[in-house]
């Protein structure tokens, strides 16, 4: 497959970055993952807006306009045979002599784009839901920035794997935050809820999207702090991300959520999601 690196399309196996790239040395960079269905980007403007916000938050110069980003993404996607793809974008601060603070001299950000075939949850996972395990959120206090420094998320994802779970559900001081790479939603008495859009979670592009789907279907939605007890006693719990779309949680720490089957709110939202991506 061809990837984009600093101005050129090149085979992935030939793409190279210098070892002093601050992404490699410090995890000093930002990324995005943009879904494409039937060769059409899904919510690309929102993904780029989040990329721009994250770059700004860490003072990395955004190297491209929205139009330029769209064109670059288009080029990489076009070179790939799959109609449904997950496109990965990464910008690091660039290459400089090692030192924690920003380099004094001007540096050129490193820009990397690759794509892979979209891998959606299996039909079985959609039908039956998935198992999750809970853990304390041990990440930093700027989870709203889509940083490539992902060690906390990596360790959380590995914890899920080692506990035969599809995802972790993290809590900070007893309050729901999010998964290792997904947002978490809770349904009680027909009302959909998600934690506030603050610095303790990454606001998924699906956050706003699912909110819109709820509004269109008359499902009440509230953004507020959600306690561990509320999660454990919820009628439904679900996950959302670019690659999971919306996915029901069947069990948490081995205990069934509701009756242990994906519930009506999940079914309605999943159907609406599938419909929207065809549009």
**Positions marked active-site:** 146
Least distance to ligand PMP from the beta carbon of 178, Å? 5
Instruction: List, in sequence order, every residue forming a beta bridge with 5; answer none if it has no partner.
Output: 8, 112
Q: Which helix (H) or strand (E) holds 241?
A: strand 236-241
Instruction: Give the whole-angstrom CA distance, residue 178 versus residue 65.
Output: 31
Query: Quick one: which of 114, 8, 109 has its CA closest to 52?
Result: 109
**How near is the Cβ of 202 to ligand PMP at its closest, in Å?**
4
CB of 220 to ligand PMP, least distance (A): 21
CA–CA gap between residue 53 and residue 143 (Å, rounded): 13
Q: Does 242 bind ligand PMP (CB under 6 A)?
A: yes
The minimum distance between CB 101 and ligand PMP, in angstroms, equals: 26
Closest distance to ligand PMP from the beta carbon of 33 (Å): 6
Counting contacts by CB under 6 A, is residue 85 touching ligand PMP?
A: no
Contact status: 170 vs ligand PMP (CB under 6 A): no
Question: Stretches 21-29, 101-109, 161-169, 179-187: which one binds ligand PMP (CB under 6 A)?
Answer: 179-187
Euclidean distance between CA atoms 244 and 127, whole angstroms = 13
Among 85, 90, 110, 241, binds ligand PMP (CB under 6 A): 241
* End-to-end CA separation in angstroms for the chain: 28
Of these, 135, 181, 200, 247, which contacts ligand PMP (CB under 6 A)?
181
3-state SS track over 172-235: ECCEECCCCCCEEEEEECCEEEECCCCCCCCCCHHHHHHHHHHHHHCCCEEECCCEHHHHHCCC
CB 9 within 8 A of CB 2: yes
Asked if 183 touches ligand PMP (CB under 6 A), the answer is yes
120 binds ligand PMP (CB under 6 A): no
Residue 182 makes contact with ligand PMP by CB under 6 A: yes
For residues 25 to 44, the per-residue mask of contacts with ligand PMP, x marking binding by CB under 6 A and - elsewhere, is --------x-----------
Stretch that binds ligand PMP, among 19-27, 188-196, 204-212, 246-254 (CB under 6 A): 204-212
The alpha-carbon radius of gyration of the chain (Å, integer) is 19
Identify the residue whose tokens are 């892979």: 116
Task: Look up residue 31 and give its DSSP letter.
Answer: E
Does residue number 147 form part of the binding site for ligand PMP (CB under 6 A)? no
Binding residues (CB under 6 A) for ligand PMP: these are 33, 153, 178, 181-183, 202, 204-206, 240-242
């Amino acid at each position: 497959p061809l990837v984009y690196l600093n101005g050129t399309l090149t085979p992935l196996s030939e793409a190279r970055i210098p070892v002093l790239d601050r992404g490699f040395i410090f995890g000093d960079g930002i990324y995005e993952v943009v879904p494409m269905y039937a060769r059409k980007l899904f919510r690309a403007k929102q993904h780029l807006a989040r990329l721009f916000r994250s770059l700004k938050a860490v003072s990395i110069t955004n190297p491209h306009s929205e139009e330029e980003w769209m064109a670059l993404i288009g080029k990489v996607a076009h070179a790939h045979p799959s109609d449904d793809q997950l496109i990965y974008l990464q910008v690091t601060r660039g290459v400089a002599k090692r030192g924690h603070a920003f380099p004094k001299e001007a540096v050129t950000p490193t820009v990397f784009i690759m794509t892979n075939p979209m891998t959606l949850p299996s039909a079985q996972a959609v039908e039956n839901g998935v198992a999750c395990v809970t853990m304390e959120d041990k990440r930093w206090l700027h989870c709203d920035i889509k940083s490539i420094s992902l060690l906390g998320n990596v360790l959380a994802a590995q914890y899920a794997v080692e506990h035969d779970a599809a995802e972790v559900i993290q809590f900070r001081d007893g309050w729901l935050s999010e998964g290792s790479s997904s947002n978490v939603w809770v349904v009680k008495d027909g009302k959909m809820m998600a934690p506030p859009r603050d610095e303790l979670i990454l606001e998924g592009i699906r956050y706003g999207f699912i909110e819109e789907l709820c509004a269109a279907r008359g499902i009440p939605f509230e953004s507020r702090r959600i306690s561990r007890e509320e999660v454990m006693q919820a009628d439904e719990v679900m996950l959302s991300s670019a690659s999971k779309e919306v996915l029901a949680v069947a069990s948490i720490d081995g205990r069934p959520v509701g009756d242990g089957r994906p519930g009506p709110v999940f079914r309605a939202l999943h159907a609406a999601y599938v419909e929207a991506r065809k549009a």
